Structure 1
């Protein structure tokens, strides 16, 4: 019985070859996971952290490699113990940056999951979930690129920091490392920069303002953007209230409390400071360079500026404003029309006292300088030609289906009280002629021309548009006129040509973009007409002696603004003079813009031989016209003038009033003998 029981007991079947393999793979996987976990634990526990990144100055250089500015050459940092930092700043920072700082181990898994979900939904990497420890790790050891590789490294370094330091030590490191704008690193340096006091003395309102800056040191700067800085302060106070660090009553009181922000200390005088600020803004906001990398990453930013031309511009502005009211402001921008390179930029009279760059201000009316765009549109539509006549006298214009009346007037109420042609109207800046023109071509066509030339400022389709009554920035005006200078091809203005990191790796390289926005013929005819402002009787005749080369341009004068926008084939420049608050300018102040333009243009191009504006191979016709009846001149017309037309718009009927019998026999205007006679009369032989 015993033997039978033993025989009936179940016996395990031998494992198949596949079963044995599965068992071995399972054990191998288990050992691999244990080994991986053990290695990770050892690395996390004992692997040394890398040395923190060494800060280097970013260099902004001109087109020839000459230094324009060195960003954060000396780092403004003063180390402070956590006990020497206001508790309000500590609470504000934790509330807005990392509410669960004391609860996580360096990485907030809940926050990461939420951010990953948002990123996947939107197919982007924009959602942030970095803890305060991760931010510290990124600032110390990593770049600011938005990649998953960087995020993983950041998480590992954060966990390693948590293994190495206590929470309070990490918080102290963070508050001494973080960038608060304007070169200030750390709470102590920022407190002294903005409030002229130690970090320990910061009030609740000051702490909330300061804690809001690191999210966007430029955008939330109380110097550059005070409104945004105060709004961010309220966000911080709300975060403190949400985390029970502050009562609603105290939050409201702090939000209403005025905060006295200390003016920025005077910086060392540097070349082209307005341009340097613009370059930094373009690099950060348009190209996407991280602000911390910009300030301490050792970049080399190569720009289009010519320091030599910049100094000529500064000298011309200084001389042009000499002896005037100290509050009178100015702006100048010069662009190479052939490639769009910005060669010189002055945003104001004194950068130290006011950093506002007026080159980009859309607060001033361009006045009659806008007429160049008007007449280009009219010429293109064949609405007017050089020979078109309108009466210069007080006139009422009806528009909007005759429901509205517009009564323009000339400057100082000066009129010719007779018919004048386009060239004379441009030279004298006759407003009545301009409004007659826009009534012919239509304001919509003028706006279309302005848009093609690169003007994006708001414009309305009304008759006063002809007189430049809608604000446009000097930047836009110089850019628009550059198309006239470059045979109708407009190049997008460029300030930065390339950006290299500290190792010489190219991070960005510009690719100039040009577009033929008007025909070469139209650009030439417009230029030919704009040259007349320097002729006798022209609004810029008084500065003609300062120029020794072909130049075209247009003055512009309003009650509170003086403009001159002009160009040569190599340089298009806009100059504005006026007061910041729109205060009226005097007659003498109204005449300061043109001399600044003339002195700058001539000195900036002194090493370039004078170049004529090239005549297109087709599309332009030059013919002799009788100035009395505006017909093709005959050989015997006493005072013929040579006029320029777009092909197809020139007069076709010949003058019969002065025609001789010889001309009637076939040797008139088109005959060789007559043309030779006309040429001899023209050159005075």
Structure 2
């Protein structure tokens, strides 16, 4: 009895000593222990996601990939897998599992090694949030104390939810939601049991058990997880066998991007960093909703692609990417395995996909296409490929496939046409951009900064300041209307020769084409883009006054040159700036500010920012500045409307087309908006930049096409006899009407229906009187020699045409002509 009494006393003493030691250690370490109360308001590092207006994911930014999920949304198999593997007694212990501790202690005594850490899920959570991963006794002790605090503060479900969203799975995936997306491209409920077990096995060693980097090790670990689930009666034997024998299907996936709009995403990224700083923007879990509709944005991208490929095809084929083998050099063809391996090294870019020519027939070819296997390319998919000589010259039309390609050639292909057939392609050499806005408030409808963000992250829609050519003319005409000129004012469309004593040369601005019509009304002058008329208007208004007026359209006054060359478009602007300027004519004279972020939400759905743009109105809460009168804007829009529809009478041989007449051919646009559309072409000297800007009352869009190398010209083409009439219609010198306008039409055919438009409404203070088309004076006639014209009240003509009058010789530029 004495022995047992002494033994009991020893145990009690050791217990008291142990409790005292633990208590002493706790109070000793207490100042170093973090406050676990922060777990109540924990902000997991969650990446920023960018969405379209209709909720499609554009991009994701952040160092860590995390998709937070509520415990109630986690499949039961996933919960069972983690509990069985990591902490089967999770719901029974108090943060520390005594049984697990004793088991780990016994292993230590019997083996001399620390093979089991006895860490519970709560202890792992403590380590993940507050401690390092060092294998040290002091870290383990701190981990235990923190776990006990956590269990007092949170219930079991809250602890498990935090754990599942916090742990690391490799490849920058944090939390089970991100792991499912990164490894399988799925949401949690779509995972199979084998995939769930793979993910549940990763926390032990995310790098060494990774199914992408170490598939065999991952498969073995998966089996361990499944065995633990079987031991815990969470799965049946047949489920175990099926999952354990399943192949490893993991591969790296990006975020579930459903709309490819990298230039738009980059705009949002930059603005979010400006607003919140890099750390907060990337990790606070913001959901950013943009102003763009997914369908419209994709239509803009497709329009840029199709238009650039059309340009590239009419200028000729530059040959294969490379040559794998050549029969002419007696080289043996590559094997199927070699071809496949070679293609795997090449990336698809934009619309184009790499392919290897394996066989060539008279007017067809067989190619191995990356990701698509063997295809037959018909003659219609390649007969465009006459030889490219330079931007100005193309070779003769091909007659057989061997004129274009040979077996062993590595080429690009793209899908084209309504039937989505394969077509020989090449990476376009020029660049292009689209900027589209809603004119009533500046909301960005679509933006494309180039052919491929992979090739170049330079956003030409926002950053490329290029000479605007004739796209400046509506601003010049607006300045003229400010000075009392009208759509019926006659200006002499005649050659200008101005001697410059300083340089010893004459300035001779020319029309394009080099045709002159004599006295011409301003409506017709803008619609036909008469250069010399624009020069004469500038002289009439004054260079300084015109420059001041142009600066009103959102430009820095110091960027507007004070010389006569601005009348022909020497001023440099970005496509977005041009679109913003043209929005003034579409909305009644108001300068709106382009914006792309509609609202910002936190991860819980709380809206922390909502755009409140200035609007084109006078009686609203947040009006935009009105920089020109509603009447002035209407007159400019009318002249640009004639650029689309022309004028005169074709039946009486007086009909004429404006430079934007190709819009008339677009049934989707005309069926949607009727005649209520306005536009203006733009081409710079030597055709280095081509533009088209146009609008309805609901949407304004600018397209630009040119080389990034400003020294290169877009050149000219000859007609191709093998192409259909629509493709042949664009030949001769490249220009805004031929190069930029087709891309604008392609986009607007998809976009106009999404942005309802009204007719070009006549504002108050505008009168409509019948004038004589030749003189601009009032007319009593009602035939083809007259039309109703719009005037700002008080500027309409006061006298009627006298048919006995003669204009005289107005082609002499002696200072006595019309301006």
Q: TM-score, normalised by structure 2?
A: 0.50
After superposition, the Cα gap between the structure-2 partners of 1:47 and 1:317, relative to the gap in structure 1 and judged at 3 Å, is: closer
Q: 2:518 aligns with which of 371, 395, 418?
A: 418
Secondary structure in 2 matching 1:491:
coil
Q: Is the 8 A contact 1:483 1:489 kept in 2?
A: yes
Q: Aligned partners of 2:33, 2:630: CA distance in 1, in Å?
A: 71
Q: Aligned partners of 1:63, 1:338: CA distance in 2, in Å?
A: 17
1:422 CA drift (Å): 1.0
Q: Aligned partners of 1:424, 1:606: CA distance in 2, in Å?
A: 29
Is 2:623 the counterpart of 1:521? Answer: no
1:644 CA drift (Å): 1.6
Secondary structure in 1 matching 2:451:
coil
Q: Which runs of 5+ in 2 are unaligned?
A: 1-25, 67-127, 131-138, 144-170, 175-252, 313-427, 615-623, 647-655, 717-730, 806-819
Aligned residues: 440
After superposition, the Cα gap between the structure-2 partners of 1:609 and 1:495, relative to the gap in structure 1 and judged at 3 Å, is: closer
- Cα distance per residue 1:133-186 (max 9 Å; x no partner): xxxxxx989xxxxxxxxxxxxxxxxxxx9x999xxxxxxxxxxxxxxxx9999x
Q: Is the 8 A contact 2:586 2:637 kept in 1?
A: yes
Q: Is the 8 A contact 1:622 1:645 kept in 2?
A: yes
After superposition, the Cα gap between the structure-2 partners of 1:608 and 1:479, relative to the gap in structure 1 and judged at 3 Å, is: closer
Match of 2:681 in 1: 555
After superposition, the Cα gap between the structure-2 partners of 1:272 and 1:389, relative to the gap in structure 1 and judged at 3 Å, is: same
Secondary structure in 1 matching 2:289:
strand
Q: Aligned partners of 2:782, 2:759: CA distance in 1, in Å?
A: 31
- Cα distance per residue 1:556-596 (max 9 Å; x no partner): 00120110011000001010001001110124543121111
Match of 1:312 in 2: 299
Higher helix fraction: Structure 1 or Structure 2? 1
Is 2:663 the counterpart of 1:543? Answer: yes
Match of 1:21 in 2: none
Q: Aligned partners of 2:532, 2:745: CA distance in 1, in Å?
A: 28
1:543 CA drift (Å): 3.0
Q: 1:598 aligns with which of 735, 745, 756?
A: 745
Q: Is the 8 A contact 1:486 1:569 kept in 2?
A: yes
Is 2:744 the counterpart of 1:634? Answer: no
After superposition, the Cα gap between the structure-2 partners of 1:638 and 1:600, relative to the gap in structure 1 and judged at 3 Å, is: closer
Q: Is the 8 A contact 1:394 1:432 kept in 2?
A: yes
Secondary structure in 2 matching 1:651:
coil
Secondary structure in 2 matching 1:411:
coil
Q: Is the 8 A contact 1:72 1:183 kept in 2?
A: no
Q: Is the 8 A contact 1:637 1:658 kept in 2?
A: no
Q: TM-score, normalised by structure 1?
A: 0.59
Q: Aligned partners of 1:430, 1:638: CA distance in 2, in Å?
A: 23
After superposition, the Cα gap between the structure-2 partners of 1:584 and 1:338, relative to the gap in structure 1 and judged at 3 Å, is: same
Is 2:758 the counterpart of 1:611? Answer: yes
After superposition, the Cα gap between the structure-2 partners of 1:184 and 1:381, relative to the gap in structure 1 and judged at 3 Å, is: farther
Q: How does 1:443-482 map to 2 (within 5 A)?
A: 443-456=543-556, 458-482=559-583
After superposition, the Cα gap between the structure-2 partners of 1:443 and 1:184, relative to the gap in structure 1 and judged at 3 Å, is: farther
Q: How does 1:259-338 map to 2 (within 5 A)?
A: 270-285=259-274, 288-325=275-312, 326-338=428-440
1:421 CA drift (Å): 1.7
Q: Is the 8 A contact 2:495 2:516 kept in 1?
A: no
Q: Aligned partners of 1:401, 1:621: CA distance in 2, in Å?
A: 47
Q: Is the 8 A contact 1:562 1:577 kept in 2?
A: yes
Match of 1:148 in 2: none
Q: Is the 8 A contact 2:698 2:757 kept in 1?
A: no
1:611 CA drift (Å): 2.6
After superposition, the Cα gap between the structure-2 partners of 1:40 and 1:474, relative to the gap in structure 1 and judged at 3 Å, is: farther
Q: Aligned partners of 1:560, 1:418: CA distance in 2, in Å?
A: 29
1:394 CA drift (Å): 2.2
Q: How does 1:140-539 map to 2 (within 5 A)?
A: 270-285=259-274, 288-325=275-312, 326-382=428-484, 384-397=485-498, 406-412=507-513, 414-456=514-556, 458-513=559-614, 514-534=624-644, 535=646, 536-539=656-659
Q: Aligned partners of 1:341, 1:608: CA distance in 2, in Å?
A: 12
Q: Aligned partners of 2:35, 2:772: CA distance in 1, in Å?
A: 91
1:615 CA drift (Å): 1.1
Q: Is the 8 A contact 1:455 1:480 kept in 2?
A: no
Q: Aligned partners of 2:531, 2:567: CA distance in 1, in Å?
A: 8
Q: Aligned partners of 1:65, 1:369: CA distance in 2, in Å?
A: 35
Aligned-residue CA RMSD in angstroms?
Answer: 3.5
Q: Is the 8 A contact 1:385 1:422 kept in 2?
A: yes
Q: Is the 8 A contact 1:621 1:647 kept in 2?
A: yes
Q: Is the 8 A contact 1:626 1:637 kept in 2?
A: no
Q: Aligned partners of 1:403, 1:624: CA distance in 2, in Å?
A: 47
Of 558-567 and 387-396, deviating more is 387-396
- Cα distance per residue 1:36-91 (max 9 Å; x no partner): xxx99975334456568522132212222232222248649xxxxxxxxxxxxxxx
Q: Is the 8 A contact 2:492 2:519 kept in 1?
A: yes
